Amino acid sequence: MTRPRRAPALALSAAVALAGCGGGGGRPAAAPATVEISLYAFAPATVTVSRGQAVTWVERDEDVAGKGAHSIVLDDGSYDSGLVARGESVTFTPSVSATYHCDVHNYMRGAITVR
């Protein structure tokens, strides 16, 4: 099971801004699609990415009585972010279209379409 790297949202933004500044000679990688976790929902609930493009989830929910942490779990079991606390983010590059949910709050659901 793949475990993500966690990064504060500001550090991630800086890394994304610098991603195209290399001398690799190839086409720069597309910036990750961003999904906000807020008000106990994924926004947007459905995201479309190009093959090889990452998705970054940014946790913005308040921690209400210890219930604010969320997770991103692909329904096929191929990815589990573990708990993501407020202010943290996780990034994953899907290879196929998938649906996902929060393991803590199973009613939180989303989908990724890979083209």
* Domain spans, the chain: 6-13+30-114
**Upstream peptide bond of 28 is cis (omega within 30 degrees of 0):** no
* Mean pLDDT on 39-51: 97
3-state secondary structure the chain: CECCCEEEHHHHHHHHHHCCCCCCCCCCCCCCEEEEEECCEEECCEEEECCCCCEEEEECCCCCCCCCCECCEECCCCEECCCECCCEEEEECCCCCEEEECCCCCCCEEEEEEC
How far is C-alpha 59 from the chain's CA centre?
A: 9
The domain defined by 6-13+30-114 folds into Immunoglobulin-like (2.60.40)
pLDDT of residue 61: 87
| Band (65; pLDDT cuts 50, 70, 90) | low
**pLDDT beyond 90 at 102:** yes
| Band (15; pLDDT cuts 50, 70, 90) | very low
In whole numbers, what is the pLDDT of the chain averaged over residues?
Answer: 82
pTM above 0.85, yes or no: no
